[in-house]
């Protein structure tokens, strides 16, 4: 049965898509903006730029001083931030309803008139901040660069998902004020943006307020590129070995998956849940509880829109076990699953956990707004938040098996193996 | 060209708000039940709080409380660990158990229609765990691996060194809650069985149920699920007390990690808990002003001006009893010395007071974010569970936020100076060869280098 969160949608004359979802339970409104640009749109030599640009959106615009966006909204009880991902960039704040107009005014100023304020000094400062973000989250973390290796191994050079959103230090260094201007003109336009209001606001008031603050932003329609061609599964295994000072061996076993919001992607994600995404999944039962060769096993699927998605299994190898043996056991389970498909218990567990996860996510007004923007921008229909679970429940065990047999084959894997360098230390 | 800009709008003040109050009852076996109706929240959040003191752990078996918590769902009288995991997951349920200085807590979230099943499984976990030998060995091994993972992570490594230096060495709080390699290595199944028997029971426990409870008879469902839980051997927990501080002047511990591209900095001092006699209301405001946003005093300089860091946060961290004030974050390796100098300067300078603009922004931020911060069932349940562990009244949030509206510079400055005396425990996790000399040159206090 579909969920019944209310969803109202309108497109302004300048092309801005507006979604309003009233929820009177709390006297707050969430403003959630998705712009159709992410790291998948970056060019060679400019990786990390979409994210660096996102930082600059907080450094002032035509009528707003550097840092004022954060300061002004937090001082009114606003909670806000922004994130960049492969497929999009988003900006969001949750404010008391009395501050909704201020939030829209601030957002409209930077989404319409950022370039009036961009200068070399704030580009240099935020470049330094982003480099520290990269060091903190990737370079100074054990296994911190593993996912960057995963993207590069699974997707070919030049592919939109071959590089990470954080980019490289060299490319960050190369970014210029002129790049900022060009990027803004190319991607930040009403027809490439979705604005969602979720909370204590009526649809009529919401549409009128967005029109008032965003209506004057001039349309700048550009041909937006279509999704790139679909990628088939890898035909031969890819392998990257890293020997580093990490506490234990860790395997990342990654696969290409079908495009997000297709039946086949749902089926592949349920297959990964049954294999490694649950406490009762096969790899956890066998490697963690029974054979005790792994400290933990997890599986994740990330839906993307550009012709392919990503799935991966992460196994922390017990120090008494051999990583190659553990990998062989994982491959054996993949083979078996592709032959037999999921059990009833696995289907039940995967669907029940997906249900709780989805309902918990929508329980928060902030995350509900984010989901509405997501479906509006990337899939053209925000009401899909209400039918997501129904689509998942419609997947049959046979489809799950078929997806595993196509996408989760041992020969279609890319393995990023982190090995401890304890041994080399001991003999040195 | 765009049309004429719309003028900057005014902000309408928000209406009054109060943290929800629960329906309260007591089960026949002594569990206090707090049920919070949060309409529209279809996943129910359940929090079981069993008062417990870490000082009740045998001294050479520290960590046994945490290991007991982790083993509750790893094999019960009726189900193996595998079976139990499957039963929980088929009911859409997720369960986690953990230990703090005041309690053992079991948290579970479940879609409303599975609530009766979830409470039945919760009872089996707390009342009937059998601690199979193989699972005990596995959980202990996994704790040893976790200790290595924590050692490899700069923020965790720093936190361990902070607690070891902030509290007197005789204090349980100076050592890791979940145990050390030595204490975990000494643990046996019998220790876990004995700890569970003596310390996990319904007497004095609190059960929080929050979510959309329309059509749910909470009292009946709880009686059905947990009514049969009994433990005649349950010993009343020693009440929590604030740990004794190590005391002494500022000193620096430098954890040597050759080749680090960043240094993790932590500056700590003992601080209040939420039942502090002078009132908790100034402290969240102080956290915000000093280190709670990109424009707070710390990041205005270290991030937005200098670009040394992705962000450094300062916050008051209450325990059940006692607490700490910690400023922590990571900075570029070659900026370590200047960043540390600036941090000490900013934190010490704040003892002189705060501007009206800062105070207004801080108060409005904390007070006006409250409705949103407590909008979901899990957030309400978490706070209700914390109130129970800390022995605070159910209207604590409402009363604190009301008083907070009136805090002025004098109260904030007094509250800050009650904690910040200029004597810091400073921990730096970074490359000693690069930063040691510079840190010594700051003259803040003695520098001790320890291996990672």
B26 CA to centre of own chain: 27
Does A105 reach chain B within 8 Å, measured CB to CB? yes
Q: Are B336 and B285 in contact (CB under 8 A)?
A: no
Residues of B in contact with A93 (CB under 8 A): none
Contact state of A63 with B5 under an 8 Å Cβ cutoff: yes
Contact state of A113 with B2 under an 8 Å Cβ cutoff: yes
Contact state of A316 with B145 under an 8 Å Cβ cutoff: yes
pLDDT of residue B5: 73
Strand duo A28-35 + A89-96: pairing: antiparallel
> C-alpha angle A364/A366/A367, rounded to 5°?
70
pLDDT of residue B4: 56
- Position B147 pLDDT exceeds 80: yes
DSSP A138: I
Does A244 reach chain B within 8 Å, measured CB to CB? no
Claim to verify: residue B171 and residue B263 sit in the same structural domain: no
pLDDT of residue B1: 40
- Position A1 pLDDT exceeds 90: no
pLDDT of residue B368: 95
- Position B326 pLDDT exceeds 90: yes
For B117-142, how does the pLDDT look when each residue is reduced to its tens digit (9 = 90+)? 999 999 999 999 999 999 999 999 99
Confidence of residue A423 (pLDDT cuts 50, 70, 90): low
Average pLDDT, whole number, for chain B?
96
Beta bridge partner(s), residue B1: none
Does A208 reach chain B within 8 Å, measured CB to CB? no
Contact state of A105 with B367 under an 8 Å Cβ cutoff: no
- Position A154 pLDDT exceeds 80: yes
What average pLDDT does range B149-165 have in this prediction? 97
| Residue from the list A66, A74, A353 with its beta carbon closest to the beta carbon of B89 | A353
What average pLDDT does range A229-245 have in this prediction? 97
| Residue from the list A101, A212, A359 with its beta carbon closest to the beta carbon of B111 | A359
Q: How far is B402 from chain A (nearest CA, A)?
A: 15
Confidence of residue A427 (pLDDT cuts 50, 70, 90): very low
- Position A363 pLDDT exceeds 90: yes
Q: What is the dihedral of CA A371, A377, A383, A385, to 10 degrees?
A: -30
At A319 the three-state DSSP class reads coil
Claim to verify: residue B50 and residue B123 sit in the same structural domain: yes
Q: Give the span between the Cα atoms of A84 and A51, in whole angstroms.
A: 5
Q: Are B352 and B329 in contact (CB under 8 A)?
A: no
Contact state of B307 with A360 under an 8 Å Cβ cutoff: no
Q: What is the dihedral of CA A274, A277, A281, A282, to 10 degrees?
A: 80
- CATH number where B55 lies: 3.30.830.10
Claim to verify: residue B302 and residue B445 sit in the same structural domain: yes
Of B181, B209, B226, the position where a domain reaches its end is: B226
Nearest to A238 by CA among A252, A257, A259: A252
Q: How many domains does chain B have?
A: 2
Q: Select the residue from A32, A190, A317, A352 to test the B interface by mutation, using most B Cβ atoms within 10 A.
A: A352
Claim to verify: residue B180 and residue B215 sit in the same structural domain: yes
Claim to verify: residue B298 and residue B441 sit in the same structural domain: yes
Average pLDDT, whole number, for chain A?
96
Within-domain flag for B195 = yes
pLDDT of residue A93: 98
Question: Residue B39 — φ and ψ, nearest 5°?
Answer: -60, 145
Does A120 reach chain B within 8 Å, measured CB to CB? no
Q: How far is B82 from chain A (nearest CA, A)?
A: 6
- Position B211 pLDDT exceeds 50: yes
Contact state of A363 with B376 under an 8 Å Cβ cutoff: yes
Does A422 reach chain B within 8 Å, measured CB to CB? no
Q: Which residues in A22-60 are b (16+ Cβ under 10 Å) and which e?
A: bbeebbbbbbbbbbbbbbbbbeeebbbbbbbbbbbbbbb
Does A295 reach chain B within 8 Å, measured CB to CB? yes
- Position B3 pLDDT exceeds 70: no
Contact state of B14 with A96 under an 8 Å Cβ cutoff: yes
pLDDT of residue A222: 87
B25 CA to centre of own chain: 27
Q: Are B313 and B289 in contact (CB under 8 A)?
A: no
Within-domain flag for B389 = no
Question: Residue B45 — φ and ψ, nearest 5°?
Answer: -105, 125
For B288-309, how does the pLDDT look when each residue is reduced to its tens digit (9 = 90+)? 999 999 999 999 999 999 999 9
Q: Give the span between the Cα atoms of A92 and A96, in whole angstroms.
A: 14
Please spell the DSSP secondary structure of B306-323, one letter per residue: T--BS--EEEEEE-SS-E
Residues 6+ apart with CB under 8 A from A193: A16, A17, A33, A34, A35, A36, A111, A377
Q: Give the span between the Cα atoms of A424 and A197, in whole angstroms.
A: 56
CATH class of this structure's domain A238-427: alpha beta
State which residues form the domain around B271. Answer: 251-366+408-451
Claim to verify: residue B178 and residue B276 sit in the same structural domain: no
Q: Among all residues of chain B, which has the CA nearest to that of A364?
A: B376
Contact state of A70 with B92 under an 8 Å Cβ cutoff: no
| Residue from the list B6, B10, B154 with its beta carbon closest to the beta carbon of A212 | B6
What average pLDDT does range B311-317 have in this prediction? 98
Residues of A in contact with B17 (CB under 8 A): 27
Residues of chain A with CATH 3.30.830.10: 8-214, 238-427
| Residue from the list B92, B154, B361 with its beta carbon closest to the beta carbon of A356 | B92
Of B188, B209, B226, the position where a domain reaches its end is: B226
Claim to verify: residue B196 and residue B113 sit in the same structural domain: yes
pLDDT of residue A426: 40
Is A8-214 assigned to CATH 3.30.830.10?
A: yes
Confidence of residue B59 (pLDDT cuts 50, 70, 90): confident
B-proximal residues of A, 59-98, CB under 8 Å: 62-63, 66-67, 70-71, 74-79, 94, 96-98
pLDDT of residue A428: 36
Q: Select the residue from A96, A97, A137 to test the B interface by mutation, using most B Cβ atoms within 10 A.
A: A96
Strand duo B251-256 + B447-451: pairing: parallel
Please spell the DSSP secondary structure of A379-420, one letter per residue: HS-GGGGGTHHHHHHT--HHHHHHHHHHHS-GGG-EEEEEEE
pLDDT of residue A425: 44
Within-domain flag for B399 = no
| Residue from the list B86, B373, B377 with its beta carbon closest to the beta carbon of A349 | B86
Claim to verify: residue B151 and residue B257 sit in the same structural domain: no
Of B226, B261, B295, the position where a domain reaches its end is: B226
Within-domain flag for B213 = yes
What is chain B's percent helix, strand, coil content, to nearest 5?
A: 45, 20, 35
Does A135 reach chain B within 8 Å, measured CB to CB? yes
Q: State ipTM.
A: 0.94
The Cα-based distances of A425 to A245, A247, A422, A428, B432 in angstroms read: 10, 13, 5, 5, 20
Confidence of residue B49 (pLDDT cuts 50, 70, 90): very high
Confidence of residue A137 (pLDDT cuts 50, 70, 90): very high
Claim to verify: residue B177 and residue B325 sit in the same structural domain: no
Tokens found for residue A158:
């030049």
Q: Give the span between the Cα atoms of B142 and B148, in whole angstroms.
A: 10
For A202-216, how does the pLDDT look when each residue is reduced to its tens digit (9 = 90+)? 999 999 999 999 999
For B354-370, how does the pLDDT look when each residue is reduced to its tens digit (9 = 90+)? 999 999 999 999 999 99
pLDDT of residue A322: 97
Residues of B in contact with A116 (CB under 8 A): none
Nearest to B81 by CA among A132, A377, A193, A289: A289
């Amino acid at each position: 049965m579909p969920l019944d969160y209310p969803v109202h949608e309108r497109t302004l004359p300048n092309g801005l898509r507006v979604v309003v979802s009233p929820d009177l339970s709390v006297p707050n409104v969430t403003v959630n903006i998705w712009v159709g640009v992410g790291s998948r749109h970056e060019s060679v030599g400019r990786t990390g730029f979409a994210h660096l640009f996102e930082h600059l959106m907080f450094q002032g615009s035509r009528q707003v001083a550097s840092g004022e966006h954060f300061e002004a909204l937090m001082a009114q009880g606003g909670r806000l931030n922004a994130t960049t991902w492969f497929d999009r960039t988003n900006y969001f704040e949750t404010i008391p309803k009395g501050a909704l107009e201020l939030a829209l005014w601030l957002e409209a100023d930077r989404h319409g008139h950022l370039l009036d304020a961009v200068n070399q000094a704030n580009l240099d400062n935020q470049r330094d901040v982003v480099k520290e973000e990269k060091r903190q989250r990737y370079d100074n973390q054990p296994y911190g660069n593993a996912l960057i290796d995963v993207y590069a191994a699974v997707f070919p050079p030049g592919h939109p998902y071959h590089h990470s959103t954080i980019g490289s230090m060299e490319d960050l260094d190369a970014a210029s004020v002129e790049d900022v201007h060009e990027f803004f003109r190319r991607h930040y336009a009403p027809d490439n943006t979705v604005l969602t209001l979720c909370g204590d606001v009526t649809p009529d008031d919401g549409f009128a307020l967005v029109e008032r603050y965003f209506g004057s932003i001039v349309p700048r329609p550009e041909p937006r590129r279509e999704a790139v061609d679909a990628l088939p599964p890898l035909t031969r295994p890819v392998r990257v070995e890293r020997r580093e000072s990490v506490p234990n061996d860790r395997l990342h076993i990654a696969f290409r998956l079908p495009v997000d919001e297709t039946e086949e992607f749902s089926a592949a994600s349920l297959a990964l849940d049954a294999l490694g995404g649950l406490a009762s999944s096969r790899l956890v039962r066998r490697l963690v509880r029974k054979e005790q060769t792994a400290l933990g096993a997890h599986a994740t699927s990330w839906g993307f829109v550009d012709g392919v998605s990503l799935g991966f299994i992460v196994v922390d190898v017990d120090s008494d076990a051999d990583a190659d043996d553990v990998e062989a056991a994982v491959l054996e389970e993949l083979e078996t699953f592709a032959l037999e498909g999921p059990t009833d218990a696995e289907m039940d567990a995967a669907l029940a956990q997906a249900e709780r996860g989805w309902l918990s996510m929508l329980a928060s007004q902030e995350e509900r707004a984010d989901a509405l923007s997501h479906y509006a921008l990337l899939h053209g229909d925000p009401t899909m938040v209400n039918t997501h679970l129904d689509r998942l429940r419609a997947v049959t065990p046979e489809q799950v098996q078929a997806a595993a047999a196509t996408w989760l084959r041992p020969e279609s894997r890319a393995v990023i193996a982190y090995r401890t360098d304890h041994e080399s230390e001991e003999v040195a | 060209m765009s049309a004429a800009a719309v003028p900057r709008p005014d902000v309408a003040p928000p209406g009054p708000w109060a943290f929800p109050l629960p329906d309260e009852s007591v089960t026949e076996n002594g569990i206090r039940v707090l049920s919070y109706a949060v309409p529209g929240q279809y996943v129910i959040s359940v929090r079981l709080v069993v008062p417990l003191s870490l000082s009740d752990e045998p001294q050479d078996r520290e960590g046994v409380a945490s290991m007991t918590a982790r083993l509750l769902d790893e094999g019960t009288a009726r189900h193996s660990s595998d079976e139990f995991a499957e039963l929980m997951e088929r009911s859409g349920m997720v369960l986690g158990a953990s230990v703090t200085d005041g309690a053992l807590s079991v948290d579970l979230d479940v879609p409303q229609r599975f609530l009766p099943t979830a409470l039945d499984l919760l009872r089996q976990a707390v009342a009937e765990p059998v601690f199979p030998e193989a699972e005990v060995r596995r959980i202990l091994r996994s704790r040893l691996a976790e200790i290595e993972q924590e050692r490899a992570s700069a923020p965790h490594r720093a936190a361990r060194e902070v607690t070891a230096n902030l509290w007197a060495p005789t204090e349980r709080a100076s050592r890791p809650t979940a145990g050390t390699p030595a204490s975990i290595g000494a643990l046996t199944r019998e220790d876990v069985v004995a700890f569970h028997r003596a310390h996990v029971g319904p007497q004095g426990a609190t059960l929080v149920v929050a979510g959309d409870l329309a059509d749910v008879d909470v009292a009946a469902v709880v009686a059905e699920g947990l009514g049969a839980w009994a433990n005649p051997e349950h010993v009343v927990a020693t009440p929590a007390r604030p740990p004794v501080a190590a005391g002494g002047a500022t000193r620096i511990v430098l954890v040597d990690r050759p080749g680090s591209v960043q240094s993790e900095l932590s500056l700590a001092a003992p601080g209040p808990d939420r039942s502090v006699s002078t009132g908790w209301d100034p402290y969240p405001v102080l956290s915000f002003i000093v280190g709670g946003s990109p424009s707070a005093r710390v990041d205005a300089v270290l991030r937005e001006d200098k670009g040394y860091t992705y962000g450094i946060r300062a916050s008051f961290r209450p325990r059940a009893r006692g607490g700490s004030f910690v400023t922590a974050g990571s900075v570029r390796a070659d900026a370590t010395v200047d960043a540390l100098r600036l941090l000490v300067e900013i934190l010490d300078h704040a003892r002189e007071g705060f501007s009206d603009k800062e105070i207004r922004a801080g108060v409005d931020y904390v007070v006006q974010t409250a409705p949103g911060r407590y909008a979901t069932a899990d957030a309400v349940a978490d706070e209700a569970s914390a109130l129970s562990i800390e022995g605070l009244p159910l209207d604590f949030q409402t009363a604190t936020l009301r008083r907070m509206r009136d805090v002025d510079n004098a109260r904030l400055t007094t509250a800050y100076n009650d904690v910040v005396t200029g004597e810091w425990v400073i921990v730096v996790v970074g490359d000693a060869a690069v930063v040691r000399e510079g840190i010594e040159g700051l003259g803040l206090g003695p520098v001790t280098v320890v291996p990672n």
